[in-house]
A = this chain, B = another copy of it.
Amino acid sequence: MQSVISSNIGIMGAGQLGRMLALAGYPLGNRFTFLDTTGNPSAGIGEVIVDPDNQHLADFLDKVDVVTYEFEHLPVALVRSIEQHKPVYPSSRAIEVCQNRVEEKTLFDRLGIPTPAYRVVESAEQLETAARELGCPVVAKSVTEGYDGKGQAVLKQPEQAHEAWVSIGHSQLVVEAFVDFVREVSMIAVRGRDGEVAFYPMAENQHVDGILRYSVAPLPDLDASVQQTADGYIRALLDELDYVGVLALELFQTRDGKLLANEMAPRVHNSGHWTMNGAVTSQFENHLRAVQGLPLGSTRAIAPTCMVNVIGREGDNAALLALSNTHLHRYDKTERAGRKLAHVNVVAETHAELLDKVRACQAKLPDAPPVSWSFESTL
């Protein structure tokens, strides 16, 4: 009986997600080689091949048994060419869908996954018509390269269409109606090479200025049927794409409990970082288990947990560590406005205790916005 695990895992991208994948994978016996094309890797672990000019891809592929990535905005043609040499999980097909809003929404539609009302437009005139039909405000987004709020504009009136069209500067846009949502939530699920699927409990996410600040899971007020509906949506996506690895699906929950899919990401996701201390198996370990063809680990939540992002500037880390059952995850990055530097996972016995502790944590972080959970009044 020899070990079946002997993988050197290749990761495209060398930021904090790659770093946390590696930290989860060393205990499995994995080794890691990162391919960094930015010239500015931060993983701080494993072997990093810095390759801004795409000169070292063959070296990278020689070293690794399987390839995954921490960033889906990779050229699809590049990923397809890698697939000719080494297994890539999730596949180039997943990347292709996730980096194109029209493909993504078309897939949601085809699988019966509700979304906010939307239109695809290819001119300023079509944008204006769409804004009238959907009812302002609407948000217009470039079809591709729409990472982290770039290439987007909000139209408060249809007459802003021309200005928005010019400012975004793309030939095709998706225009979305605003949703009167109660909360933003996300699903993290994982699918193995054999088709086994496991779902984490749904998390509630609080964004400020388009950046995730807090994720809390599990949700104390979540109807089991809503979780099951979300499980069904993400399972449909996973199975349709013959997906291997962790997939994240962001949704809006409306006042009547309905879920509307916003977007998905074919990778470990910031809204799943709570699983590092709040679930039996973290999203990082499960992603690695999946891409290596190993059995998936339990996705059960251990206790109410909140992930607190540390953005731009770090706080008083010693004071954070003095809070009970509070876990620091630093990314070894220098401070810079808007940069994700670390996160803190706060674990508690009850959601009421958790809220108190997260507020104590917030007080020790500069610029951390007030915590606001949809279910606060029920605690």
Assuming the A-B contacts A1-B314, A318-B4, are A329 and B27 also in contact, with contact meaning beta carbons closer than 8 angstroms in the complex?
A: yes
Measured CA separation A318–B328 after assembly (Å): 30
Measured CA separation A324–B2 after assembly (Å): 21
Mask, A213-248, CB within 8 Å of B = 1, is: 000000000000000000000000000000000000
Check: A316 CB closer than 8 A to any chain B CB. yes
Q: Is the CB of A2 within 8 A of B321?
A: no
Measured CA separation A92–B190 after assembly (Å): 49
Q: Is the CB of A1 within 8 A of B316?
A: yes
Interface residue stretch chosen among A124-132, A153-161, A290-298? A290-298
Q: Is the CB of B27 within 8 A of A23?
A: yes
Nearest to A329 among chain B residues (CB) is B27
Measured CA separation A68–B278 after assembly (Å): 30
Measured CA separation A325–B295 after assembly (Å): 12
List residues of chain B with CB within 8 A of the CB of A295: 318, 321-322
Q: Is the CB of B321 within 8 A of A289?
A: yes
Interface centre among A19, A29, A44 (most CB of B within 10 A): A29
Check: A359 CB closer than 8 A to any chain B CB. no
Check: A45 CB closer than 8 A to any chain B CB. yes
Measured CA separation A41–B82 after assembly (Å): 33
Assuming the A-B contacts A31-B332, A45-B26, are A298 and B325 also in contact, with contact meaning beta carbons closer than 8 angstroms in the complex?
A: yes
Assuming the A-B contacts A29-B332, A332-B26, are A280 and B317 also in contact, with contact meaning beta carbons closer than 8 angstroms in the complex?
A: no
Measured CA separation A28–B329 after assembly (Å): 6
Nearest to A303 among chain B residues (CB) is B302
CB distance from A240 to the nearest CB of B (A): 26
Measured CA separation A298–B326 after assembly (Å): 9
Measured CA separation A252–B135 after assembly (Å): 76
List residues of chain B with CB within 8 A of the CB of A55: none
Check: A327 CB closer than 8 A to any chain B CB. yes
Interface residues on A, range: 35 or more
Measured CA separation A3–B332 after assembly (Å): 11
- Among B1, B297, B321, B325, the residue within 8 A (CB) of A294 is B321
CB distance from A32 to the nearest CB of B (A): 10
Q: Is the CB of B44 within 8 A of A1?
A: no
Measured CA separation A327–B27 after assembly (Å): 9
Q: Is the CB of B26 within 8 A of A19?
A: yes
List residues of chain B with CB within 8 A of the CB of A321: 289, 294-295, 297
List residues of chain B with CB within 8 A of the CB of A119: none
CB distance from A284 to the nearest CB of B (A): 12
CB distance from A282 to the nearest CB of B (A): 10
Check: A183 CB closer than 8 A to any chain B CB. no
Measured CA separation A280–B29 after assembly (Å): 24
Q: Is the CB of A317 within 8 A of B45?
A: no
Measured CA separation A45–B364 after assembly (Å): 31
Measured CA separation A190–B269 after assembly (Å): 34
Measured CA separation A14–B142 after assembly (Å): 50
Measured CA separation A347–B300 after assembly (Å): 13
Q: Is the CB of B44 within 8 A of A31?
A: yes
Check: A330 CB closer than 8 A to any chain B CB. yes
Q: Is the CB of A1 within 8 A of B325?
A: no
Q: Is the CB of B23 within 8 A of A280?
A: no
List residues of chain B with CB within 8 A of the CB of A31: 44, 332
Check: A211 CB closer than 8 A to any chain B CB. no
List residues of chain B with CB within 8 A of the CB of A26: 19, 23, 44-45, 332
List residues of chain B with CB within 8 A of the CB of A23: 23, 26-27
List 6 A-B pairs, Cβ < 8 Å: A4-B316, A26-B45, A27-B328, A28-B328, A28-B330, A280-B324
Which 3 pairs, one residue from A and one from B, show the smallest C-beta to C-beta distance?
Answer: A29-B330, A295-B322, A3-B314
